[in-house]
Structure 1
Amino acid sequence: MSTPNISRNWFDAGGRGYAQFRPEYPAALADYLAEIAPRRGKAVDAGCGTGQLTVQLARHFTEVIGLDPSADQLENAAPHADVSYLCAPAEALPVPDHSADLITAAQAAHWFDLPAFYAEARRIAAPDAVIALISYGVLRFENPTLNQRFARFYRDEAGPYWPAERRLVDSGYADLDFPFAPFSPPALVIERDWNLAEFLGYVSTWSAVRRMTEAGRADLLTEVAQNFADLWGDAEQRHRVSWPINLRVGRI
C-alpha cells in the first residue's frame, strides 16, 4: 500500500495547479453550447483560466478566443491551433464589435463586474449570439465516509476563508442578475475517479485554501491532508468524485 508525502506543500497552487488539477468539463457541455449558438464562427471565453472549456469549444467553432487577466493562468493554458489566448479582463474585451456567436464565462463570472461585462458582451455579440455563465457546485464523493469528511472540511474548516463571491457559486449563479432571454439547459455533471494526490491537488487551487495559508493556518491544512490520507486507504486507490454543473444561458 502506498502512502502520500504529507510533508509536501499540497496547498500552494497557481496557474500550473489549475492546469493540472481543475476538472475538465464533459464534452456534452461544449456540444450543447455549439448547438444553440446561431453560427459556429467565433466563440469568446472570458475568464478562461487555463482553458478547460476554451479548448473544448475549438471542436465546434472556427475561431476561439480565451481571455483572462492573469498572465500566470495563460502561461499554463492548454495550447490549441484554433485558440488564441489574450491577457485581458472580462470588463474590457479586445474583441471586435458584433463578431462573437458565443460568449462564455466558466467558473469565473462571480469575480466579474457584471454590468461592465454584460456591456462588453452586448458590444461584441453577433446577431442572436448566446451568452453562457457556467459554474460547478461542491464536490461530492461516492464514498460516504470521505464525503462526510469533505463536507465538514468545506463547511467548517475552509468555510470562514471563502471569499464572499463563493456564495454565488454555491447557489449555482441563481442570484446573479442575468438580463437575457433564458434557455432551459440540460442537467450536466462532471465526474472523475481520483487518487489522493489528485484530490489534494484540486483542493490546493481553492481561493479559501490560499487565504488559510496567508492567515497562518498551514497547520490546519496539514492536519486535513493527514485526515484524508488516513481515510483514503491506498493513496493510489481511485474514488469517484462529481460536481453538478450549473448554467445560466441566454440569447443576447
Structure 2
Amino acid sequence: MSLFDSVEHHYARYRPRLPDQVVELLAQELAGAQAPRLLDLGAGTGQVALSMFPALPPAAHLDLVDQDEGMLRTALDELRPHLGERTATVHAVPAEKFTPAQPGYQADLVTCCRAFHWMDRPAVLAMADRVAAPHAVVAIMGDGSLWTHEAEWTVALKALIQSHLGEDRRAGTTGTYREPGRRYEDDLADSPFSDITEHRIPFTRAWTPRSVLGYLRSTSFARPDLFTDHSGFEEQAEDLLLRHAKQNGVLREDGVFTVLLARRPGVSR
C-alpha cells in the first residue's frame, strides 16, 4: 500500500460489502418491480449498490447520496463496469438535503448502511417520507466495526490503536466518537416509518493483515492523519496481525449484520 493512496481508494477496496443473505432480504422488498428505484444514503464508495447489482433488474435506477464528492466519484468508477442497462446518479449533499431531480420521483427502497449514526436522523426520515413510494421500505443496516468486534485479534488491535491515540475512539478531525443518544428503533418509531422488523443475520469474514491495514486507513478512528508516526503504527499493527493470523494467514471475524426494515403502518408486507 502506498502512503499516497486516497481514503476513497482504501474505502472502495477494503470496506466489506453486504452479506449475500442481506442482499436476498432487501431483494424481497423489490420483488415484482420492473424498474425499481434504490435510494442509498451515506453511500460512500457504493458498497450497498455494488452488493445489490445481482438482485436488480436491468431497468433499475440507483441514487447514491453522500456529502463527500470524492467518495461519490470513486463510487461511479466502481459502478460503471457493472451498470449494464441500469442507471445511477450521485448527489453530493447531506442525506436530509436530498432532492430528486425528476418530478414525481418515488424510491422503492431507501437504504442506509453503517452511516445513520452520523446523520440528523429525524430530518433524514422526514426526507424519506417525502420521496419514498407508499409501499417503500427504509432499511437501516450495520454490523459494527473492527473497533467494536470482540475477537482476540481485534481486542489486541484496538489496544494498540489506543496506545497511540488514547483510550477514546477518535472521530472527525479533532473529536471523539459518542454513541447515539437513542436507539435507531426509537428514531424510526417516531417517524412515519414506525412499523419495524429486525433481522439479525450471522456472517463470517476472512481478513488478511494487509486488508485490515487498508480498512483501518478508511476509518474515522485509525486514519493516517491521526497518528504522529503512522508508519510506525502500521509496522506494529502488521506484526500483531501476523502473529494472530498464524499459519493460514487469515484473521476471522464472526459477527451479526443487523437490518431494521421500517414501513409506514398499514402497508402490507
Specify the TM-score bucket, using the shorter chain as the normaliser: 0.7 to 0.9
The TM-score, its normalising length taken from structure 2, stands at: 0.74
**Partner amino acid, structure 1, of 2:13:** Q
CA offset at residue 126 of structure 1? 0.6
The answer to whether the aligner puts 1:25 opposite 2:18 as a matched pair is yes
CA change 1:207–1:235 in 2 (3 A) is farther
CA 1:55/1:166 → structure 2, altered by over 3 Å: closer, same or farther?
A: farther
CA distance in 2, matches of 1:166, 1:242: 25
Within 2, Cα distance between the matches of 1:198 and 1:14? 14
Q: Note closer, same or farther for the CA distance 1:230–1:16 as it changes in structure 2 (3 Å cut).
A: closer
Q: Post-superposition shift, 1:38?
A: 7.7
Name 2:267's counterpart in structure 1.
none
**1:52 corresponds to which of 47, 51, 58:** 47
Letter in 1 for 2:16: P
The residue number in structure 1 matching 2:98 is: 93
More deviation, 118-127/68-77: 68-77
Q: Using the TM superposition, give the Cα deviation of residue 234 of structure 1 relative to its aligned residue in structure 2, in angstroms.
A: 6.2
How far apart are 1:137 and its partner, in Å? Answer: 1.3
Q: CA deviation at 1:136?
A: 1.4
**Residue by residue, what CA displacement relative to the aligned partner does 1:91-138 show, whole Å, maximum 9, x if unpaired?**
221325551111111111112122221221011011121111111113
In 2, Cα distance between equivalents of 1:246 and 1:157: 31
Mapping 1:167-182, distance limit 5 Å = 167-168=179-180, 174=184, 177-178=187-188, 179=191, 180-182=193-195
Q: Which residue in 2 is equivalent to 1:69?
A: 67
Change (3 A) 1:85 1:225: farther
Give SS of 1:75's match. Answer: helix
Partner of 2:214: 201
Partners of 1:197 and 1:235 within 8 A in 2: no
Quote the residue 1:130 is aligned against.
137
Give aligned pairs, total.
240
Identify which of structures 1 and 2 has the higher relative contact order when contacts are C-alpha pairs closer than 8 Å and 6+ apart.
1
Letter in structure 1 aligned against 2:168: P
- Does 2:256 correspond to 1:244? yes
- Specify the SS of the correspondent of 2:47: coil
Q: Which moved more, 1:50-59 or 1:152-161?
A: 152-161
Q: 1:74 to 1:98 in 2, by over 3 A?
A: closer
- Alpha-carbon distance, 1:189 to partner: 3.5
Could you tell me how far apart the structure 1 residues matched to 2:227 and 2:157 are? 21
Alpha carbons of 1:251 and 1:156: their partners in 2 closer, same or farther (altered >3 Å)? Answer: farther
**Matching residue's letter, 1:15:** E
Aligned to 1:24, what secondary structure does the other structure show?
A: coil
Q: Determine helix, strand or coil for the equivalent of 1:69.
A: coil
User: TM-score normalised to the size of structure 1?
Assistant: 0.79
1:165 and 1:33 mapped to 2: Cα distance?
A: 29
Give CA-to-partner distance per residue, 1:14-67, whole Å, 9 cap, x none.
Answer: 111100000111121122123235863211111111111112333235222222
Shift of 1:215: 5.7
Amino-acid identity (%) = 23
Secondary structure of the corresponding residue to residue 43 of structure 2: coil
Unaligned runs of 5+ in 1: none
CA 1:190/1:204 → structure 2, altered by over 3 Å: closer, same or farther? farther
The CA deviation string for residues 142-163 of structure 1, in whole angstroms up to 9 with x for no partner, is 6x4x244135346665552423
Partner-residue secondary structure (3-state), 1:104: strand
> CA, structure 1 residues 141+104, in 2 after alignment: closer, same or farther (shift >3 Å)?
same
Q: Distance in 2 between matches of 1:200 and 1:36?
A: 35
Q: Which runs of 5+ in 2 are unaligned?
A: 265-269
Q: Which amino acid aligns with 1:31?
A: E
Cα pair distance change 1:138/1:14, threshold 3 Å: closer
Alpha-carbon separation, structure 1, partners of 2:65 and 2:29: 22
Query: The residue matched to 2:197 in structure 1 has which SS?
Result: coil
Q: Secondary structure at the match of 2:138?
A: strand
* Alpha-carbon separation, structure 1, partners of 2:186 and 2:12: 27
